[in-house]
Amino acid sequence: FFDVKDVALCLGEVQMRGSSRVAQLLPSTSYHNKGGVQQEVDLLLSQYSSLSPSLGVYTYPNGQRTGNILKLTGTIPMVYNGTQYNVPIVYWITDYFPQYPPVVLVQPTPNMAIKPRHPHVGSDGTVYHPYITNWRPPASRLTDLTKQLSTVFGKDPPVFARPSGAAGPQPAHPPSAATSASHPRPSAYPPQQPHQQYDFQQAGKGVRPRVSSPLYFVLTSDIFCDALLPASDNGHHSCSTTVSFCLVLEWLSYWTARTIWWTASLLSAYRRAAP
């Protein structure tokens, strides 16, 4: 028979791994938009209970280090040949999330290895996918990204079992599928300057960064939300309802500045050409 107190403790521990756990961790983080982070992470954890939040500092390949950020560790499901498997994975929720996408890593267990030349996973486990490249808040969501990864991993599993003998590689967790045709991998690196927002877009064979105006950061910050938005029932603010408005203002400010610049250039050229 189960002790009622033990059951209550177990239930409390499970709840701690969810939204309440994220709420406890957020005050110790360096996020620009903590309300947006909690909303997205809570939604992901509610649908994927195999992921567990913790805190950590991520170091990018260029040596840049984040502040104290959320790290979601666990597995996501995939279906290969009609059977469901679990892919070990880590989400690093970067400093400027949700304006900037997370860093996603496949983290194989000791008896597993990353499939060489996988079209979506580098040799270090970094996940590359167009959904990350074309990250556009508020349309881009952690839950949708995870569904996309589950789909592509089901078609081409990123991990296989290490060979234990002379019989050669034994596919475990999922068997290794045939290598898919390669394609350019989008960059998932952070901006060189911490206070600039980069939208990565494929351009030809590579990827070029485009800096968005600082107005986007101002309008999606917690300060702006606190001033204009009422608090929700859980005491947090959501900027998702204002992001479309913010993008319109950003677009207007950009083209207004461009129009002024072109007008000034034309006037200057006209004055120089005038006798």
Query: What pLDDT is attached to residue 239?
Result: 42
- Residue 165: band (very low, low, confident or very high) from pLDDT cuts 50, 70, 90: low
pTM: 0.59
Minimum mean pLDDT range among 78-82, 162-166, 198-202: 198-202
Minimum mean pLDDT range among 39-48, 57-66, 166-175, 250-259: 166-175
- Looking at every residue in the chain, the average pLDDT score rounds to 73
Query: What pLDDT is attached to residue 37?
Result: 96
Query: What pLDDT is attached to residue 45?
Result: 96
Cβ(120)–Cβ(186) below 8 Å = no
Residue 213 has pLDDT above 50, yes or no: no
Query: What pLDDT is attached to residue 8?
Result: 46
Minimum mean pLDDT range among 89-103, 213-227, 242-256: 213-227
Q: Find the helix or strand (DSSP H, E) in which 148 lies.
A: helix 142-155
Q: How far is CA 60 from CA 104, 165, 191, 212, 227, in A?
A: 12, 36, 10, 21, 34
Residue 137 has pLDDT above 60, yes or no: yes
Instruction: State the Cα torsion 222-223-228-233 to the nearest 10°.
Output: 40
Q: Is 48 exposed, middle or buried (0-12, 13-18, 19+ CB in 10 A)?
A: buried
Query: What pLDDT is attached to residue 96?
Result: 92
Residue 53 has pLDDT above 80, yes or no: yes
Phi, psi of 56 (to 5 degrees): -170, 175
Q: Provide mean pLDDT across the span 229-245.
A: 44
Structural fold of domain 4-206? Ubiquitin Conjugating Enzyme (3.10.110)
- Residue 13: band (very low, low, confident or very high) from pLDDT cuts 50, 70, 90: low
Q: Provide mean pLDDT across the span 44-52.
A: 96
- Residue 200: band (very low, low, confident or very high) from pLDDT cuts 50, 70, 90: very low
Residue intervals of the chain classified under CATH 3.10.110.10 are 4-206
Give the residue with greater pLDDT, 61 vs 247. Answer: 61
Residue 236 has pLDDT above 80, yes or no: no
Query: What pLDDT is attached to residue 3?
Result: 52
